[in-house]
Structure 1
Amino acid sequence: MTNWQIKNYTNISVAELYQILRLRQEVFIIEQNCIYPDIDDKDHNAMHLLGTIDNKLIAYARLFQPDDYFQGYSSIGRVVVAKQKRGQQIGHALIKHAVHFLKTQYPHSPCKISAQAYLMTLYQSFDFIAEGNTYLEDGIPHIAMIKI
């Protein structure tokens, strides 16, 4: 069973931070062959949603209060599920927890994300609406999506 926790940056242990950075590196840099820096100095301002099984990180997302990432919006970013756990609805649960947290903490703020285009259907299942055309972000097709 997946254990879900939300922590601010100062409450993340060194071991947890190592697992977070390793998972993000494995997926965003190695698997997606995207040679762009993952560490962007935004981790300090984010809340961190961690999904673990037996203290091993299997899913992760960053959560931002309004205006910290997009002006006028809360936001979800760095959404990632370990390769060996995909196809088990972990990503669905991750987004569910992220949306619930942001809606609870910031009930009057819409949420904006920069979604990888191939995941648009997943986000639409949570009532995100595509805004504009796809664009390249670090060489990968993305689309802006908003949830009111």
Structure 2
Amino acid sequence: MKVICKHFSELTTTEYHRLLTARVAVFVVEQECPYQEVDRTDLEAWHLWLEDEEGHFVAYARIYQEATIHFGRVLVVKEYRKQGLGNLLVEEVLTWIHRHLPKQPIVIGAQAHLQAFYAQFGFEPVSETYLEDDIPHIDMEKKTNLS
């Protein structure tokens, strides 16, 4: 797998189109959740994705900084699921954050059904479950980026 991470300002229009296509396919169409997928956060974010040996876009997440470090829009393209790529993607995101934005906690707004998935990476719940776009979410934090 090839790992690519670029700030929005470095993306080509083709790369941005590929990542938006995947995000809309998963978060709007597949999850049947009509909402504004394109937002201002994209403009300040680093966009990390995985490509297979043939250059196919297979997984994606974006990383951004506010008061704390965040990542989100975590996805694996439908045809590539059940291959451990979600784990690989989160490991790559955390490695990138540790290298480029260390010594800060990482906070995510995870879909509630993925709480155990993120817990295996050291994330702990810091909120009650809440609805975001009619999908149950929970805020989780990883403090071990502080070393």
Q: What SS is found at the alignment partner of 1:144? A: strand
- The size of the alignment, in residue pairs, is 142
In the alignment, structure 1 segments of 5+ residues that lack a partner are none
Within 1, Cα distance between the matches of 2:91 and 2:10?
22
Q: Does 1:106 align with 2:93?
A: no
Shift of 1:41: 1.3
Within 1, Cα distance between the matches of 2:29 and 2:142?
30
Q: What SS is found at the alignment partner of 2:44? A: coil
In the alignment, structure 2 segments of 5+ residues that lack a partner are none
- 1:11-56 superposed Cα distances (whole Å, 9 cap, x missing partner): 1111111110100000000000001110011111000101112222
Alignment of 1:22-101 (within 5 A): 22-53=21-52, 54-65=54-65, 67=66, 71=67, 73-101=68-96
TM-score by structure 2 length? 0.93
Q: Give aligned-pair identity as a percent.
A: 35
Moved over 4 A (4+): none
- 1:64-121 superposed Cα distances (whole Å, 9 cap, x missing partner): 13x2xxx2x1011111110111110000000001111112222210000000111111
RMSD over aligned CA atoms reads 0.9
Contact preservation (8 Å) 2:112, 2:136: yes
Q: What SS is found at the alignment partner of 1:33? A: coil
TM-score by structure 1 length? 0.93
Q: Does 1:118 align with 2:113?
A: yes
Structure having the larger proportion of residues in helix: 2
Which residue matches 2:9?
A: 10
